[in-house]
Amino acid sequence: MHLHRRSDLRVGAYGTDIVAPAIASPDGWIALLRQRLDAKIPRGAHADWIAFLDARNAQGDEKALAIARACRDLQFTATALGQVEAG
Protein backbone atom coordinates (compact mmCIF):
# COMPACT_ATOMS: atom_id res chain seq x y z
CA MET A 1 0.00 0.00 0.00
CA HIS A 2 1.39 3.38 -0.94
CA LEU A 3 0.34 6.25 1.27
CA HIS A 4 0.64 10.00 1.40
CA ARG A 5 -1.00 12.78 3.34
CA ARG A 6 -4.02 14.08 1.50
CA SER A 7 -4.34 17.83 1.72
CA ASP A 8 -8.14 17.66 1.78
CA LEU A 9 -8.21 15.58 4.96
CA ARG A 10 -7.29 16.23 8.55
CA VAL A 11 -3.83 15.38 9.86
CA GLY A 12 -3.53 11.64 10.34
CA ALA A 13 -5.92 10.74 7.52
CA TYR A 14 -4.10 9.31 4.55
CA GLY A 15 -5.10 8.30 1.05
CA THR A 16 -3.66 5.86 -1.46
CA ASP A 17 -3.97 7.80 -4.70
CA ILE A 18 -0.28 8.70 -5.15
CA VAL A 19 2.47 6.10 -5.38
CA ALA A 20 5.30 6.75 -2.95
CA PRO A 21 7.97 4.05 -3.35
CA ALA A 22 9.95 5.30 -0.36
CA ILE A 23 7.12 4.27 1.95
CA ALA A 24 6.06 1.05 0.25
CA SER A 25 6.74 -0.97 3.41
CA PRO A 26 5.63 -0.46 7.02
CA ASP A 27 9.25 0.24 7.97
CA GLY A 28 9.51 2.88 5.25
CA TRP A 29 6.25 4.47 6.38
CA ILE A 30 7.43 4.59 10.00
CA ALA A 31 10.77 6.09 8.95
CA LEU A 32 9.04 8.78 6.89
CA LEU A 33 6.64 9.68 9.70
CA ARG A 34 9.46 9.80 12.23
CA GLN A 35 11.47 12.06 9.92
CA ARG A 36 8.48 14.40 9.51
CA LEU A 37 7.72 14.48 13.23
CA ASP A 38 11.38 14.91 14.21
CA ALA A 39 11.43 18.05 12.06
CA LYS A 40 8.26 19.43 13.66
CA ILE A 41 8.85 18.65 17.34
CA PRO A 42 10.01 21.78 19.18
CA ARG A 43 13.63 21.64 20.34
CA GLY A 44 12.54 21.79 23.98
CA ALA A 45 10.46 18.64 23.59
CA HIS A 46 12.90 16.72 21.39
CA ALA A 47 14.53 14.81 24.28
CA ASP A 48 11.09 13.72 25.52
CA TRP A 49 10.14 12.70 21.97
CA ILE A 50 13.24 10.51 21.65
CA ALA A 51 12.63 9.03 25.11
CA PHE A 52 9.06 8.22 24.08
CA LEU A 53 10.24 6.50 20.90
CA ASP A 54 12.85 4.50 22.81
CA ALA A 55 10.28 3.40 25.40
CA ARG A 56 7.81 2.45 22.68
CA ASN A 57 10.47 0.40 20.89
CA ALA A 58 11.43 -1.36 24.14
CA GLN A 59 7.77 -2.17 24.77
CA GLY A 60 7.49 -3.72 21.32
CA ASP A 61 10.71 -5.69 21.89
CA GLU A 62 9.35 -7.06 25.18
CA LYS A 63 6.14 -8.18 23.49
CA ALA A 64 8.05 -9.86 20.67
CA LEU A 65 10.26 -11.66 23.19
CA ALA A 66 7.23 -12.85 25.18
CA ILE A 67 5.61 -14.18 22.00
CA ALA A 68 8.83 -15.98 21.00
CA ARG A 69 9.07 -17.55 24.47
CA ALA A 70 5.44 -18.68 24.34
CA CYS A 71 5.99 -20.25 20.90
CA ARG A 72 9.10 -22.03 22.15
CA ASP A 73 7.24 -23.32 25.21
CA LEU A 74 4.38 -24.56 23.03
CA GLN A 75 6.86 -26.37 20.80
CA PHE A 76 8.50 -28.03 23.81
CA THR A 77 5.09 -29.05 25.13
CA ALA A 78 4.01 -30.48 21.77
CA THR A 79 7.26 -32.43 21.54
CA ALA A 80 6.87 -33.78 25.07
CA LEU A 81 3.26 -34.79 24.42
CA GLY A 82 4.34 -36.53 21.22
CA GLN A 83 6.92 -38.52 23.14
CA VAL A 84 4.37 -39.51 25.80
CA GLU A 85 1.90 -40.68 23.14
CA ALA A 86 4.62 -42.61 21.28
CA GLY A 87 5.89 -44.25 24.48
Q: For residue 24, give the amino acid letter.
A: A
| pLDDT, position 24 | 78
Domain boundaries, the chain: 1-40, 43-87
Reported as a pLDDT band with limits 50, 70 and 90, residue 86 is: confident
pTM for the model stands at 0.50
What's the 3-state SS for the chain?
CCCEECCCCCCCCEECCCCCHHHCCHHHHHHHHHHHHHHHCCHHHHHHHHHHHHHHHHHHHHHHHHHHHHHHHHHHHHHHHHHHHHC
- Give 7 or 43, the one with higher predicted confidence: 43
pLDDT per residue as tens digits for the range 22-74? 667 888 888 888 899 989 999 999 999 999 989 988 999 999 999 999 999 99
- How far is 3 from 39, CA to CA, in rounded Å? 19
| pLDDT, position 48 | 93
